[in-house]
Amino acid sequence: MLTADDHRRIEAAVARAEDGTSSDVFCVLAGEVSSYREVPIAWGAAAALLIPPLVLAVALQPLLAAITVGGWTVAEASAEQGELAFALTGYAVAQIVLFGVVAGITTLPPVRRLVTPKFLKRHRVKKAAFHHFAAAHGRAHDSVLIFVALVEHQVEVLADAAIHAKAGEAVWQAAAAAVQEGMRTPDPTAGIERALSLCGDALKAHFPADGPRASVDRPIDD
Mean pLDDT of 12-27: 92
Mean pLDDT of 14-42: 92
Greater confidence (143 vs 90) lies with 143
Instruction: Single out the residue in 115, 131, 150 at which a domain terminates.
Output: 115
pLDDT of residue 33: 93
What pLDDT band is residue 189 in, cutting at 50, 70 and 90?
Answer: very high
- Structural domain span for residue 146: 4-34+117-221
Mean pLDDT value across the chain: 83
Mean pLDDT of 10-37: 92
Same domain, 102 and 203: no
pLDDT of residue 25: 92
Same domain, 209 and 122: yes
Same domain, 132 and 216: yes
Same domain, 123 and 213: yes
Phi, psi of 27 (to 5 degrees): -125, 115
Same domain, 182 and 155: yes
Residues 6+ away with beta carbon under 8 Å from 193: 9, 10, 13
pLDDT of residue 10: 94
Same domain, 18 and 47: no
pLDDT digits (tens, 9 = 90+) for 109-130: 999 999 999 999 999 999 999 9
Helices and strands in the chain, H and E counts: 8, 4
Q: How far apart are CA 210 and CA 206, in angstroms?
A: 12
Greater confidence (222 vs 129) lies with 129
Closest residue by Cα to residue 3 from 210, 189, 211: 189
Instruction: Single out the residue in 115, 145, 179 at which a domain terminates.
Output: 115
- Residue pair 182/191 in contact (Cβ under 8 Å)? The answer is yes
Same domain, 49 and 141: no
pLDDT digits (tens, 9 = 90+) for 58-114: 765 555 555 555 555 545 545 555 666 666 677 788 888 999 999 999 999 999 999
pLDDT of residue 140: 59
pLDDT of residue 138: 66
pLDDT of residue 216: 42
CATH number at 172 reads 3.10.310.50
Q: Answer whether residue 217 shows pLDDT above 80.
A: no
| Structural domains in the chain (count) | 2
Percent with pLDDT over 90 in the chain: 54
Rg (C-alpha) for the chain, rounded Å, is 28
Burial group, residue 177, by CB count within 10 angstroms (0-12, 13-18, 19+): middle
